[in-house]
Structure 1
């Protein structure tokens, strides 16, 4: 960790983004106004709009919507402000005169400010919403965006997620519950989903924003179609804030419902993007879920976790994984699970160790599991004109 002095913390490693907001196109005023998470979202939005060929004026503003997910919102700005006005926590009553010098503090308090920033960037005047369901926020925001398009509330929806959680308070929270890896001497190999010696996830950061639209609308304007969202479902286990039932039936039910909504069968699934956080309970939970929902197909389909390479960026990761799944479909490749050197004998699926694999991916299943019991499944498929 280089974003703050992590001396004394249990876990002192993280997957930090090499990010220069000015070089990425933001003004000094925007940098001062926005938390790092909002900066990620705005820059990603601009890149997504450019990639989609959506210049200003091509779509009426009232037909453009926004759906942004985040687990911890503007944590860095909020914590920095509190540290300032409380003399690093020494003052019980904060210094109101210093608070007056923080005109953008309210933006840091409410996660919806990120959705507002994205809406301003995109010129979006249809529905704009913020989704916060822990580590499934990214998938859920994309699912909500797809719903806005399907119900006719918008022709275009900018959907995705962002998080910049590498701050003392976030690291301390995960230290307390011992969820993060303590492989501090070898950070490059610390994220080891499905490995016998895994010891927790590596905290990450980042954002991904996707342009969603009806398939016919995309074809009419000559858009490049990466894939189609064909199925989506959420479930909750109503069980424990951080614990998971080992049978995985909650996630399995989300997968079954998503398959049903897509009109697909287990044998149609070509690749599974696992949540794959690198905690023992999660890896066992979702392996059981794949078996319960897909039957024998679970042993035939490749499963991998990109968190092994980019860490776990909390709410953002589901959107990043959706983008990775779209590229896996377009390029017919399965990304690997890095650092899987000693397979857990209790986990017996094909976790694609070390090397990416050429593989035809017509249908991809992506899943997410979040603290609080949130379980999400999404199916993405090759578009007819992709």
Structure 2
């Protein structure tokens, strides 16, 4: 008998939201946290807007040594983990550490620190031969992505399976999926799962500039991210982190924890097609959705809300619309669909876990977040994309999807606790 997996704790650090309350307040108000880039000088870039966290590691209680040792992405993850453990009321000292695992996702890991260190070693690029005498003693931490997962494990006291999932923009969703599988298979009772990324650094910004994936709407940062809108012209780069406490349902019940939601299905597929391009038919995303729904023992008609990837690029939004129609049939036209990237931007690997947090909160509060800035719907994106204003409604089953460079397509289903079929 497969074990049931519930979300019992949430911690976030997002643009416009330094905790769950602020994050949810931003989403339900339809406000945006996108602005002119400030974490690096945007003057030379085509796209100069970003969604940045108002994050101060000192205010978070990190020591000077921790701040020196950890990249910004790791700092965001550690702060989110502490909040998630507190929110879930999980005392890891009272839990067998070998039954606690970590699944952390990140697309670009310690990109900020790596670039900063290269600038020091090369004298801002003036020296081809770098001088190792200027090498930071923490360079290993920046070069090895798994160090971030280890830092989260140390905070949680986790001595079970610990892993770093890095498969581009689906990393956060897939990390939560990996934590879900660890519990399902009986390897752990608790999984600290989520993702983090801090990619607002010149090299990452330049990479997306080069392929024109990010928006050039620099004169109006607040309205630059506009998924499914006819005038959309690329995504807004962002940073952030979301960490979830996942538990075996019986383990959560024994300690009296209150679940936000139950994860009932997850699947991931690859299109084996192109590093950045997407086929228009959405077949692979549709297949991931089908498998996730089958594992959840749900039909398309049972889905109350779809959290879209909704990046705001021309090809992604069309591809995704096609995938919803293919997998959900006629019901696709009746389900509210929205993209929170319109408000918090696209934080690469982190966004999938941030979106799962939003889905759990949608179930908890009975509110569907809107798609901000959707004033002129694209005729090719002709579903109910919840424009501008949040919608109060019963939300018992949510589908969340992700799409990433390399062709990754992932889907996850969450249900209201207590209504799922006993598995």
TM-score by shorter chain over 0.5: yes
5+ residue gaps, structure 1, are: none
Alpha-carbon distance in structure 1 between the residues aligned to 2:304 and 2:182: 27
- Please tell me whether the aligned partners of residues 225 and 385 of structure 1 are also in contact (alpha carbons under 8 angstroms): no
**Structure 2 counterparts to residues 1-386 of structure 1, below 5 A:** 1-99=37-135, 102-384=136-418
TM-score by length of 2: 0.90
Alpha-carbon distance in structure 2 between the residues aligned to 1:220 and 1:289: 40
- Please tell me whether the aligned partners of residues 93 and 157 of structure 2 are also in contact (alpha carbons under 8 angstroms): no
SS of residue in 2 equivalent to 1:71: coil
Out of 144-153 and 281-290, give the one that drifted further. 144-153
SS of residue in 1 equivalent to 2:50: coil
Alpha-carbon distance in structure 1 between the residues aligned to 2:146 and 2:54: 25
Alpha-carbon distance in structure 2 between the residues aligned to 1:208 and 1:362: 22
Out of 256-265 and 232-241, give the one that drifted further. 256-265
Deviation at 1:184, TM superposition (A): 0.5
Deviation at 1:56, TM superposition (A): 3.8
- Please tell me whether the aligned partners of residues 219 and 385 of structure 1 are also in contact (alpha carbons under 8 angstroms): no
5+ residue gaps, structure 2, are: 1-36
Deviation at 1:237, TM superposition (A): 0.1
Deviation at 1:54, TM superposition (A): 1.2
Alpha-carbon distance in structure 2 between the residues aligned to 1:307 and 1:81: 30
More contact order relative to length (CA 8 Å, sep ≥ 6) = 2
Alpha-carbon distance in structure 2 between the residues aligned to 1:154 and 1:331: 29
Deviation at 1:355, TM superposition (A): 0.3
SS of residue in 2 equivalent to 1:159: strand
Alpha-carbon distance in structure 2 between the residues aligned to 1:25 and 1:334: 33
SS of residue in 2 equivalent to 1:14: strand
SS of residue in 1 equivalent to 2:385: coil
Alpha-carbon spacing, 1:385–1:251, altered in 2? closer, same or farther (3 Å): closer
Output the aligned Cα RMSD: 0.9
Alpha-carbon distance in structure 1 between the residues aligned to 2:53 and 2:414: 27
Deviation at 1:385, TM superposition (A): 7.9
SS of residue in 2 equivalent to 1:118: helix
Runs ≥4 residues deviating over 2 A = none
**Partner deviation per Cα, 1:111-169 (whole Å, 9 max, x = no partner):** 10100000011010000000001000000000000111111111111000000000000
Alpha-carbon distance in structure 2 between the residues aligned to 1:9 and 1:77: 20
TM-score by length of 1: 0.98
Alpha-carbon distance in structure 1 between the residues aligned to 2:62 and 2:249: 32
Alpha-carbon distance in structure 2 between the residues aligned to 1:279 and 1:219: 43
Alpha-carbon distance in structure 1 between the residues aligned to 2:254 and 2:190: 13
SS of residue in 1 equivalent to 2:259: coil
Deviation at 1:58, TM superposition (A): 1.7
Alpha-carbon distance in structure 2 between the residues aligned to 1:211 and 1:229: 12
Alpha-carbon distance in structure 2 between the residues aligned to 1:281 and 1:359: 30
Deviation at 1:262, TM superposition (A): 1.0
SS of residue in 1 equivalent to 2:380: coil
Deviation at 1:107, TM superposition (A): 0.6
Residue-pair matches, total: 384
Alpha-carbon distance in structure 2 between the residues aligned to 1:48 and 1:351: 30
SS of residue in 1 equivalent to 2:188: coil
SS of residue in 2 equivalent to 1:204: coil
Deviation at 1:55, TM superposition (A): 2.1
Alpha-carbon distance in structure 2 between the residues aligned to 1:25 and 1:246: 47
Alpha-carbon distance in structure 1 between the residues aligned to 2:294 and 2:173: 18
